[in-house]
Structure 1
Amino acid sequence: IFLASALVPGIRAVSSEHEDNKTNGKVDASTPLRFYAWAGIIALYSGMSVILTIFPLYAKEVLHISESQTGLLLLVRGVATCVSFLVLGKLEFWHFKRRYIFGVQLLFGLICLMAVSFATVGPYALFFFLFGILFAFAYDQSMFHGASGSVNRSNRMIIHEVLLTIGTILGAVGGGYIYEQLSFSLLLRMIGFAALVLVGLEMLLALLLERRKMRRA
């Protein structure tokens, strides 16, 4: 930050978020969709942590997949995520659309359940490709809906990063324990069912809130 400020003096001329809100009298117009997106990023980041920390062990110890093939699978996920970030950044169809938030979480749960029976590189390549797309989607949804309309976007970004960390810890610690005590297949099954239960609860909550709004109207 110091180096950027020194090299680009114009940065220092920009007023802070607090000063800008105070001067322009901005009113918070945050969207409640951020809560659904935040729940989703915890779920997807837990899955990401499992893929990055536990899958390589499973691939070597159980599937007997070479390290180069495992690295290639992780590369597929990474490329899919990067390309998805670029594409989603140019598209707006998913903005303020609750169905896409629920859809991403639903598909995540389903592909985790499908991956339970995978044992070769080919099917896992497809799984990692799809997961990479869904991960980028969930990340963008959390960041966009968290900051959109807020007069305190810096705090929203802090929340976003904290939730990423929570998801990472849950996936690494909880997933590692389950893998050690049980199996990777059971771990995927538990993640899949947990994601489906999560999105089911979110949809139920959204329905109840919608009905309450209609009654008040």
Structure 2
Amino acid sequence: MDDTDTEQSSPVRTSKLAVIGPLAFLAAMAQGNLGLGLLFHARDALLASKAQTGLLAGIWFLAYMISCHLFRPLSHRLRPRFCVLGASFVLAALTGLLAAAPSLGSAYLLNGLLGVAAASFWPPLMGWLSANAEGGQLSRRLGAFNVCWSSGAILSPALAGWGSEIFSWLPLVVSAGLYLAAGLLLALAVVALPGIGGDDDAHEREQRGVAQEPGTDGTPLRFPAWVGVFSTYLVAGVVLNVFPMAGRTELHLKASDVGCLLLLRALATSFGLGILGRTAWWHFRGWQMVGTTALLGGSLLWLGSAHSMAGIGLALVAAGALSAFGYVNSLFHGAVGSSRRVGRMAIHESLLSAGLCCGASLGGVVYQRVGITPLLTGCAVLMGATASIQLALLRACRRPPTGC
């Protein structure tokens, strides 16, 4: 019996995946809606400058990155589903408070606490998803998960743009409701579906530090993949947090127009994640990391030179599709062959958030001084340098267990 038959015949895993998918969808929609909505709310209601708005977004990513590592011992003690359950309700409460924040200082504090709470949601959820799966089965699970969260991310930019044109705080209230719905869904599943705890043996093995395959710790391809995901999401931090400001001030776009442009990017990313989750040609192939990283740099040069809605939209579609490679390479090559799944997911998430933090905060400062075109040109140069580093790391690989 192959791994496909095994997974399809297991009601434990089926019920678990049926819960994790909707959770990822709701949380990603809440997070994306909150991220873009907060940018508009900070500018319109809290009167934040460009640099202050970038810093506000960067605080979330910094808090998330640090907390992913600080909370790893906690995730080893608690079952992943209970970490996710508690985090969902905390995220809902903090987001509701953020909608009522009276000053920029209180918004900084609450957004930082939201980053801390999110670190108890995503890595445990992803570790729970990948428990007791390897190879093609792991890739299919991660592919389905990626489609779920990216589907939520698709809807969030347009939702935030339209909501912000009604009331600046409305996207934040909607996000609080989405987090609350995620918590209630998981609470109901814990009570009604006791089988979702059927992978607790994997959590117990991780607590003891017992590898699923003694003598191996995965593939060294995780190292160029991790370099790639950091740079990819640094660029994403610029696109998601700085480009909306440029669209409003330099291109004179409405908030809903900016939301629709970012919706196109999210659609392209989701499509790329879906295709990569259903194919295996990219597994353990280092050349595709280098190539797609370099092409992402080219798409940024295109975005920086585009001035029409059509040109900007096409450039964002290209950047979104290519960003999917950076994400899935880090997720798959970091997890495959390792029993420390929650820890590896924490590394993936912390690198991702470190890139987003740098892109949002530093990008906002650079944009305020030089404008959007030089900023995007610098990001393209960064992606070229990243491709060179990845190539050097690939050449340094020496007979990895699964190929390099």
TM-score by length of 1: 0.89
Change in Cα spacing, 1:206 to 1:25, as seen in structure 2 (3 Å) is closer
Q: Aligned partners of 2:211, 2:273: CA distance in 1, in Å?
A: 32
Name the residue aligned to 1:26.
213
Name the residue aligned to 2:280.
92
Within the candidate set 106, 121, 125, 2:294 is matched to 106
Name the residue aligned to 1:15.
200
Identify unmatched segments of 5+ residues in structure 1. Answer: none
Q: How much does 1:6 deviate?
A: 2.6
Q: Aligned partners of 2:348, 2:244: CA distance in 1, in Å?
A: 27
Q: Aligned partners of 2:211, 2:269: CA distance in 1, in Å?
A: 37
Name the residue aligned to 1:193.
381
Answer yes or no: is 1:5 the counterpart of 2:190.
yes
Answer yes or no: is 1:170 the counterpart of 2:355.
no
Does structure 2 retain, via aligned residues, the 8 Å contact 1:80–1:132? yes
Change in Cα spacing, 1:151 to 1:193, as seen in structure 2 (3 Å) is same
Q: How much does 1:30 deviate?
A: 0.7
Name the residue aligned to 1:77.
265
Q: Which amino acid aligns with 1:72?
A: C
Change in Cα spacing, 1:13 to 1:63, as seen in structure 2 (3 Å) is closer
Q: How much does 1:19 deviate?
A: 3.7
Q: How much does 1:18 deviate?
A: 5.3
Q: Aligned partners of 1:115, 1:45: CA distance in 2, in Å?
A: 16
TM-score by length of 2: 0.49
Q: How much does 1:34 deviate?
A: 0.7
Q: Aligned partners of 2:380, 2:237: CA distance in 1, in Å?
A: 14
1:133-181 Cα distance to aligned partner (Å, 9 max, x none): 1122211111000001112111100101111110110000110010011
Q: How much does 1:101 deviate?
A: 1.0
User: Cα RMSD over matched residues?
Assistant: 2.0
Q: Which amino acid aligns with 1:26?
A: E
Name the residue aligned to 2:325.
137
Answer yes or no: is 1:158 the counterpart of 2:346.
yes
Change in Cα spacing, 1:69 to 1:14, as seen in structure 2 (3 Å) is closer
Q: Which amino acid aligns with 1:6?
A: V
Q: Aligned partners of 1:14, 1:183: CA distance in 2, in Å?
A: 50
Name the SS of the counterpart of 2:200 in structure 1: coil
Q: Which amino acid aligns with 1:172?
A: A
Within the candidate set 29, 35, 43, 2:223 is matched to 35
Does structure 1 retain, via aligned residues, the 8 Å contact 2:212–2:337? no
Name the SS of the counterpart of 1:167 in structure 2: helix
Q: Aligned partners of 1:104, 1:126: CA distance in 2, in Å?
A: 17
Q: Which amino acid aligns with 1:41?
A: V
Does structure 1 retain, via aligned residues, the 8 Å contact 2:300–2:377? yes
Give the stretch that moved more between structures: 102-111 or 22-31. Answer: 22-31
Q: How much does 1:206 deviate?
A: 2.6
Does structure 2 retain, via aligned residues, the 8 Å contact 1:46–1:168? yes
Q: How much does 1:205 deviate?
A: 3.5
Q: How much does 1:20 deviate?
A: 4.1
Q: How much does 1:88 deviate?
A: 1.3
Sequence identity (%):
34
Change in Cα spacing, 1:114 to 1:24, as seen in structure 2 (3 Å) is closer
Does structure 2 retain, via aligned residues, the 8 Å contact 1:17–1:152? no
Name the residue aligned to 2:137.
none
Q: How much does 1:195 deviate?
A: 1.0
Give the length in aligned residue pairs.
211
Change in Cα spacing, 1:139 to 1:205, as seen in structure 2 (3 Å) is closer
